[in-house]
């Protein structure tokens, strides 16, 4: 029987009710962590999630922080508050994400999907690195998606100023970073830069889960396109609970330290990634672009 890591402090972004974030939190609550740090845009929305955690284990300390991941200023302010009120983090699960809708830019001038799904998590992760490095076995988990298959590994037109915008291209691009394609390249970069510091970084595909809030913003045509993609890839639909399994595996299995930078699917290391995920210079190019967009450099 594989031993299970002892979880102490776990931070999860995107903990909305009836989401994979909530399902992940409740599943991890059974492992009896000492504390959950929940990060999302609207703290009042997460009270039912905190209550549900207490029903699983009343001893768990649950703290909620309001951070808009699409806003660089909000991430900076929220990270500062987390640092001032917490001593360390053992597991960081970058779970939050958006998908669908028309081309929209944030106040920082960044395409909203890329800003929310990757740039916000990039900045939050690096700002909280000091807390992670205080853990005996820090672990960073970036929730990606099979949607990364549509990413090319080229971030030169991240704002879709030269190419036509499509929601699936935007989602695929962001998932190679955090949201699918960017998530994978971000994971590769973290693994390379932080392995000497004992940090394990993993990208996770939870599966195709149609019951999540992320699909709520899709227009009918987008919904039809997504269903076509699901059919074409032969993906099997999963429940929320089934979809949490690989993230739980990523958080708890101590043997995954030997697979730093891996892409996980169906509770195992997967070699099935899109061509964009294999572009050699993409992780470092993404890292440098991200530093430029947030106006700060990070060296380890």
For residue 221, give both structure tokens.
């045509």
Question: What is the average per-residue pLDDT within 292-299?
Answer: 98
CA-closest candidate to residue 247, choices 267, 272, 277, 261? 267
Tokens for 78? 């929220």
Q: Looking at 158, 165, 263, 300, which residue is catalytic?
A: 165
Q: What share of the chain is helix, strand, coil (3-state, %, to 5)?
A: 50, 15, 40
pLDDT of residue 276: 56
The string of pLDDT tens digits covering residues 224-283 is 555 555 555 555 666 778 889 999 999 999 999 999 999 999 999 987 655 556 677 889
Q: Which of 256, 282, 243 is nearest to 141 (CA)?
A: 256
Instruction: Please write the tens of the pLDDT for every residue from 47-74.
Output: 999 999 999 999 999 999 999 999 999 9
Is position 165 annotated as part of the catalytic site?
A: yes
Choose between 183 and 4: higher pLDDT.
183
Q: What is the mean pLDDT of the chain?
A: 85
Distance CA 143, CA 18 (A): 17
Residue 173: closest CA among 114, 254, 123: 114
- CA angle 77/82/87 to nearest 5° reads 150
Which range in 130-134, 151-155, 167-171 is most confidently predicted, on average pLDDT?
Answer: 130-134
Residue 211, judged by CB atoms within 10 A of its CB (0-12, 13-18, 19+), counts as middle
pTM for the structure as a whole: 0.86
Residue 38 pLDDT: 98
Residue 184 has pLDDT above 80, yes or no: yes
Q: What percent of the chain shows pLDDT beyond 70?
A: 76
CATH superfamily for domain 9-294: NAD(P)-binding Rossmann-like Domain (3.40.50.720)
What per-residue confidence (pLDDT) applies to 154? 76
Q: Which residue has the higher pLDDT, 136 or 209?
A: 136
Please give the pLDDT value at position 173. 46
pLDDT number for residue 208: 66
Report the pLDDT value the prediction gives residue 259, as an integer from 0 to 100.
97
Which residue, 174, 181, 101, 108, is CA-closest to 149? 181
CB atoms inside a 10 Å sphere around CB 221: 9
**pLDDT over threshold 60, residue 217:** no
Q: What are 83-117's pLDDT values in tens digits?
A: 999 999 999 999 998 866 678 899 999 999 899 99
Position 215 scores a pLDDT of 52
**Between 35 and 162, where is the model more confident?**
35
């Amino acid at each position: 029987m594989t031993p299970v890591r002892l979880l102490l402090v776990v931070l999860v972004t995107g903990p909305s009710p009836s989401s994979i974030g909530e399902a992940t939190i409740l599943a991890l609550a059974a492992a009896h962590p000492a504390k959950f740090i929940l990060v999302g845009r609207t703290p009042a929305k997460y009270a039912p999630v905190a209550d549900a955690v207490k029903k699983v284990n009343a001893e768990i300390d649950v703290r909620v922080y309001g951070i808009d991941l699409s806003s660089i200023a909000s991430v900076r302010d929220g990270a500062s508050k987390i640092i001032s009120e917490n001593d360390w983090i053992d597991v960081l699960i970058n779970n939050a994400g958006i998908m669908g809708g028309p081309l929209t830019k944030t106040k920082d001038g960044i395409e909203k999907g890329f800003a929310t799904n990757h740039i916000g998590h990039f900045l939050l992760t690096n700002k909280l690195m000091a807390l992670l490095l205080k853990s005996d076995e820090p672990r960073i988990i970036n929730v990606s998606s099979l949607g990364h298959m549509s990413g090319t590994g080229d971030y030169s037109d991240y704002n879709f100023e030269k190419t036509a915008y499509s929601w699936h291209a935007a989602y695929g691009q962001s998932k190679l970073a955090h949201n699918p394609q960017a998530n994978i390249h971000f994971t590769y970069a973290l693994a390379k830069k932080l392995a000497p510091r004992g940090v394990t970084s993993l990208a996770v595909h939870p599966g195709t889960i149609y019951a999540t809030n992320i699909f709520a913003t899709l227009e009918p045509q987008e919904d039809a396109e997504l269903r076509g993609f699901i059919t074409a890839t032969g993906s099997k639909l999963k429940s929320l609970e089934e979809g949490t399994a690989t993230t739980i595996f990523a958080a708890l299995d101590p043997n995954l330290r030997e697979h730093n930078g891996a892409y996980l699917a169906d509770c195992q290391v997967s070699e099935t990634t899109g061509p964009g995920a294999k572009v050699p210079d993409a992780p470092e190019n993404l890292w440098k672009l991200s530093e430029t967009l947030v106006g700060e450099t990070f060296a380890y």
